[in-house]
Structure 1
Amino acid sequence: MLVLLDRDGVINEDRADFVKSPAELVFIPKALEAIARLNAHGHKLVIATNQSCIGRGIINEEQLAEIHGKLKDSLAKLSGRLDDILVAPDAPWTATDRRKPGAGMLIEAMRKFNVTAHETVFIGDSARDIEAANSANCHRILVQTGKGKKTLAEGVARHLMPVHIAKDLDEAASFILDGRF
């Protein structure tokens, strides 16, 4: 199975002022271990993340690479890895279809790994994540970390159903490993 992950609010703590340096990348408990567990069972893992901080001129691509370097190094210490990291650097006012709720990054990942939407699950914490997954026709898991509790409280639109609800990435990984998809 191809497991697509939002980054902020799913793997690391979401920040209103953006993650601007490796020091500001604070991992959600058990998130890295969940990725390593999925790796150990042969799943491909790809981050699909909006990073408008680039389009807004807050950080540049080199700084983002340093942030993702910390993520990759931290995963490697747990025998985990990412098969790819896809980024939509667009500012909201210049959004392309790559920027969620557009499905561009999700479709790109499915093509790259030659899998169907039925063989793909997207794990996110926001309505736009779930909308992107719905547009790409893949399975959807909403985690209650990051913006997840607020998203759930606001209600998930009927046309986006079915959406599985998980406490966090660790529980979402258990859903996948238990064969719910």
Structure 2
Amino acid sequence: MKLLILDRDGVINYDSDDYIKSVDEWIPLPGAITAIADLSKAGWTVAVATNQSGLARGYYTPATLDAMHQRLRQLVAEQGGEVGLIVHCPHGPDDGCACRKPKPGMLQQIAAHYGVSLAGLWFVGDSRGDLDAALAVDCQPVLVKTGKGERTLAKALPAGTLIFEDLAAVAAQLLH
């Protein structure tokens, strides 16, 4: 199985320090939807692992989050692709859960769902927490410069981290 795991905010859609709180605020980054659709059409399963502490903070409801993910699925489907499993952590940073990145719980959930080993699989994110989650389960950490990527790039990165301009560049590499 060809499995690619993506962070959401800052990788697939624009991120905001004020949180993405509605479907109207969920705006795909240029080329991201096409990248996911192209990967899907080429036989890749594209899963998503996203921290959503806005739920714990009361900024939006689970129904609103589901609507955002339905929008993502709809846009990718319109280009002939599909999105695989989407998992999210609804907890706040101080809740002590096992799923919130940099903890690896969501990545482990995706691996269990698909019955695969995470060793060597690419996990694409824009933050140090994403890279650390990848390392915790032996995934290949991949940083995109979108979202918080440039800020993350300004600090020391884990050895072996792959760096790309954006999700479209990741897809181009994988589809090469």
How far off its partner does 1:119 sit? 5.2
Question: Could you tell me how far apart the structure 1 residues matched to 2:9 and 2:96 are?
Answer: 18
Question: Could you tell me how far apart the structure 2 residues matched to 1:102 and 1:62 are?
Answer: 25
Partner residue, 1:112 = 113
Question: Could you tell me how far apart the structure 2 residues matched to 1:95 and 1:146 are?
Answer: 25
Q: Could you tell me which amino acid in structure 2 is paired with residue 3 of structure 1?
A: L
Question: Could you tell me how far apart the structure 2 residues matched to 1:140 and 1:50 are?
Answer: 17
Question: Could you tell me how far apart the structure 1 residues matched to 2:114 and 2:145 are?
Answer: 28
How far off its partner does 1:25 sit? 0.7
Is 1:177 aligned to 2:169, yes or no?
Answer: no
Question: Could you tell me how far apart the structure 1 residues matched to 2:11 and 2:167 are?
Answer: 6
Gaps of 5+ in 1: none
Partner residue, 1:17 = 18
- Bigger helix fraction: 1
How far off its partner does 1:52 sit? 0.2
Q: For the Cα contact (< 8 Å) 2:120–2:138, is it kept in 1?
A: no
Partner residue, 2:160 = 162
Gaps of 5+ in 2: none
Q: For the Cα contact (< 8 Å) 1:13–1:28, is it kept in 2?
A: yes
CA RMSD of superposed structures (Å)? 1.1
Taking structure 1 as the reference length, the TM-score comes to: 0.93
Partner residue, 1:138 = 139
Question: Could you tell me how far apart the structure 2 residues matched to 1:43 and 1:151 are?
Answer: 27
How far off its partner does 1:176 sit? 2.0
How far off its partner does 1:70 sit? 1.2
Question: Could you tell me how far apart the structure 2 residues matched to 1:126 and 1:95 are?
Answer: 19
More displaced stretch, 118-127 vs 7-16: 118-127
Question: Could you tell me how far apart the structure 2 residues matched to 1:74 and 1:139 are?
Answer: 27
Question: Could you tell me how far apart the structure 2 residues matched to 1:177 and 1:61 are?
Answer: 34
* 1:77-104 deviations in Å (ceiling 9; x for gaps): 1112111110000011113110000000
Taking structure 2 as the reference length, the TM-score comes to: 0.96
Q: For the Cα contact (< 8 Å) 1:97–1:103, is it kept in 2?
A: yes
